[in-house]
Chain A
């Protein structure tokens, strides 16, 4: 049992060995950090639900190469994202930008929360306007039932 556990732990520790990009893309830590952040936010459209950072599909590797090139050419993050959206659409970004087509995505949580709050208030108001007698009577009968 202990041996199995040890093997599992060892495997867990060895997981980073499976990392896709084993080589550092940039010597400059600032550029490397930008690169890592971007590839962690871009969906691999071939293998949806994976970022291109986590995917070893060749398309993901190609996209990482293009992003590396763009950053190397001095492009800003916004320009890199534009490059991807122009070719693959807004869907390729895990953090869609708030504009036009994606606005509903950003507003939906607030709208749903607002709707829930309105419903809650309406229900509470209705309950508060119920005659007190009614409440007392029902709790009496509950008590009676409990005693009975």
Chain B
């Protein structure tokens, strides 16, 4: 009898461990930059090829860096919420336009609105790789020192904002 109890306990344990694994999304990789300095970059802006935007321009306040592209379905999905966030003025949003064309990106911002303080134009995806980006949209939350507090994969939503961003923003604000 004792032997069966051991077997059943072992089986239930196995089921629990495996079902925990099932609920995880294997495509969500933790960012190696969490709680580390965001990688430096220096890109021409989308609006003006002669003007550059770099990490130094973003530092000094809590900010979002949103990696987006016009070919990216999830970016279209989150765009309305980005507009709403930008209007609320909670945090400045900076864009990295990833592997896109200038004309397409400009048309997109004209058509759907521009939530970004500025967007860097990462045509060959070099900065994307430096930031460990593997699928747009990705949104990084940076504190005033340029430390990555959080990275969100996929479209932003009010739920994700409240659950994942707000608490971190609050604690970063109180640390200032």
Contacts and interface: CB of A to CB of B under 8 A. Distances in A.
Contacts, number: 38
Nearest to A69: B126
A89 B32 contact: yes
A62 B129 contact: yes
Given A46-B135, A48-B27, A58 B32 contact: no
Nearest to A46: B134
A87 B130 contact: yes
In the A-B complex, list the 5 residue pairs whose CB atoms are closest, starting with the nearest.
A87-B132, A45-B134, A62-B125, A89-B32, A46-B134
Contacts of A89: 29-32, 132
Interface of B is mostly: loop
B162 interface: no
A48 B28 CA distance: 11
A110 B174 CA distance: 48
B134 A59 contact: yes
A66 B129 contact: yes
Given A46-B135, A87-B32, A89-B132, A59 B125 contact: yes
11 contacts: A46-B135, A58-B99, A62-B125, A62-B126, A62-B129, A66-B126, A66-B129, A87-B131, A89-B29, A89-B30, A91-B29
Contacts of B31: 89
Nearest to A89: B32
A31 interface: no
A133 interface: no
A94 interface: no
A106 interface: no
Contacts of B126: 62, 66
Q: How many of chain A's residues touch chain B, expressed as a range?
A: 10 to 19
A86 interface: yes
Contacts of A71: none
A48 B39 CA distance: 24
B124 interface: yes
A81 B53 CA distance: 29
Given A87-B32, A87-B39, A88-B134, 4 more contacts: A62-B128, A66-B126, A87-B132, A88-B132
B129 A87 contact: yes
A48 B30 contact: no
A89 B130 CA distance: 12
A62 B124 contact: yes
A63 interface: yes
A136 B29 CA distance: 60
B26 interface: yes
Given A48-B27, A87-B32, A89-B30, A58 B135 contact: no
Interface string A43-71: 00110100000000011001100100000
